[in-house]
Amino acid sequence: MFNAANSAHTARFGRGATIVRARGNEPLTIEQLRAAAPSVFAEEAHSSRSAKYTYIPTANVLAGLQKEGFQPFEVRQGGSKDAEKRSFTKHMIRFRHASLATMGDSHREIIMVNAHDGTSSYQMFDGVFRIVCANGLIASDGPMDMVRVPHKGDVVHQVIDAAYTVIEKGKEIASRLDVMRQIELKPAEQEAFAEAAAHLRFEEETVAAIQPRIINQARRRDDVGNDLWRTFNRTQENLVRGGLHYTQTNANNIHTNKTTRPVNGIDGNMALNRALWTLTARMAELKAA
């Protein structure tokens, strides 16, 4: 659903899950954030938390980050089978900072994850948002690239410090993207990349049924090309957004037409994006050797 009045794209899923992404260069407003992700503005921790749990509302951290120039451009709220718990579930906010310049076709973003039901501490990641396909990847090579802030002490200032730490640690991202844009892949290499990526998303049975060329197919003219950056973006979009049609054959030789589902959950989206970034970074290293 697109609402022209607030210039944001909203997608809602089952059990209260929501994704809202700003259109253009105007950040999301507090009203948009509150409507999409009430868990960001929870006034207390979930009842399951003990007295040892220090409750620091994400809204306070958000306000602190905004004072430092970090503006929200996307928010996600996870769903829950328990309707009472939906106002406390895991949420993710993607920020841009004035100090982070546009990198060709992409914006660098800082990603914050938190929850008020005990399922997550404050976690900060580096991210890249590609303007052409509206895909947001997480540029993280592993757990050491994540800055974690527990629910203890002066959380607001600790998260702000973590955001600047992520910016400092990720200074080389722009140059890494430039390298990826300059690396040319042969058709066989592109399919090998797509097949390896498919193993990060699907079970073996599904990987065997989906041809790599389908995972590597371009959805728009701007995505056509043989460089590693566009190969990565085609693969990422097809795996994350789903909608790939394939035929699966069982042991009785019965054919079933299927379509892949999008990866909308916060945990699944983060895990897949981090794994895809690592795969792409390793491919770049191999091609440069």
Q: Which residue has the higher pLDDT, 160 or 44?
A: 160
> How far apart (Å, rounded) are the C-alpha atoms in residues 276 and 232?
8
Residues 196 and 267 in one domain: yes
Residue 178 falls inside a structural domain: no
Cα separation of 167 and 89, whole Å? 27
pLDDT category at 5 given cuts 50, 70, 90 is: very low
- Quick one: average pLDDT of 171-190? 93
Any idea which residue has 């076709």 for tokens? 105
In the listed set 140, 171, 202, which residue is the last one of a domain according to the structure?
171
In 3D, which of 116, 117, 124 has the Cα closest to residue 149? 124
Is 56 among the domain residues? yes
pLDDT at residue 1, as a whole number: 38
For the chain, give the secondary structure using H, E and C. CEECCCCEEEEECHHHCEEEEECCCCCCCHHHHHHHCHHHHCCCCCCCCCCCCCCCCHHHHHHHHHHCCEEEEEEEECCCCCHHHCCCCCEEEEEEECCCCCECCEEEEEEEEECCCCCCCEEEEEEEEECCCCEEEECCCCHHHCEEECCCCCHHHHHHHHHHHHHHHCCCHHHHHHHHHHCECCHHHHHHHHHHHHHHHCCHHHHHHCCHHHHCCCCCHHHCCCEHHHHHHHHHHHHHHCCCEEEEECCCCCEEEEECCCCCCHHHHHHHHHHHHHHHHHHHHHHHC
- Same-domain check for residues 256 and 125: no
Q: Are residues 130 and 78 in the same domain?
A: yes
Q: Which two tokens stand for residue 84?
A: 């009472």
Q: Examine the domain organization and report whether 147 and 31 are in the same domain.
A: yes
pTM for the structure as a whole: 0.83
Co-location of 232 and 281 in the same domain: yes
Q: What is the mean pLDDT of residues 40-48?
A: 67
Q: Taking the alpha carbons of 258, 264, 268, 273 in that order, is the dihedral positive or negative?
A: positive
The reported pLDDT for the residue numbered 4 is 38
Domain boundary among 138, 171, 204: 171
Phi and psi for 73 in degrees, rounded to 5?
-120, -10
Per residue in 186-196, pLDDT (tens digit) is 999 999 999 99
The band of 264, judged by pLDDT with boundaries at 50, 70 and 90, is confident
**Same-domain check for residues 10 and 121:** yes
pLDDT at 83 over 60: no
Query: Are 118 and 254 in contact, with CB atoms under 8 Å apart?
Result: no
Average pLDDT, the chain: 85
Q: Are residues 138 and 251 in the same domain?
A: no
> pLDDT confidence of 287, banded at 50, 70, 90?
very high
Weakest mean pLDDT among 60-64, 79-83, 93-97 = 79-83
Is the same domain home to 191 and 166? no
pLDDT of residue 2: 35
Residue 85 structure tokens: 């718990």
Residues 198 and 275 in one domain: yes
Of residues 219 and 142, the one with the higher pLDDT is: 219
Task: Identify whether residues 23 and 43 lie together within a single domain.
Answer: yes
- Compute the distance between CA of residue 171 and CA of residue 176 in angstroms, rounded to an integer: 10
Q: What is the pLDDT of residues 112-135, one digit of tens each?
A: 998 876 667 789 999 888 876 666
8 belongs to a structural domain: yes
Q: Which domain holds residue 28?
A: 2-171
pLDDT of residue 61: 93
**171, 191, 212 — which closes off a domain?**
171
Count of the separate structural domains present in the chain: 2
Is 176 among the domain residues?
Answer: no
Largest CA distance in the chain: 62
Does residue 34 have a pLDDT over 80? Answer: yes
Q: Residue 98 has what pLDDT? A: 86
> At residue 81, does pLDDT exceed 80?
no
Q: Are residues 56 and 154 in the same domain?
A: yes
Q: Look at residues 157, 110, 137 and name the one whose alpha carbon lies nearest to residue 273.
A: 137
One domain for residues 130 and 8 = yes
Q: What is the 3-state secondary structure (H, E, C) of 158-197?
A: HHHHHHHHHHHHCCCHHHHHHHHHHCECCHHHHHHHHHHH
- Locate 250 and state its tokens: 């069982």
Task: Say if 248 falls within a structural domain.
Answer: yes
- The residue whose two tokens read 């992520």 is 166
Average pLDDT over residues 152-158: 87
Q: Is residue 177 part of a domain?
A: no
Looking at per-residue pLDDT, the higher value among 160 and 23 belongs to: 160
Is the pLDDT at 170 greater than 80, yes or no?
yes
Q: Are 18 and 78 in contact (CB under 8 A)?
A: no
For residue 178, the model assigns a pLDDT of 92
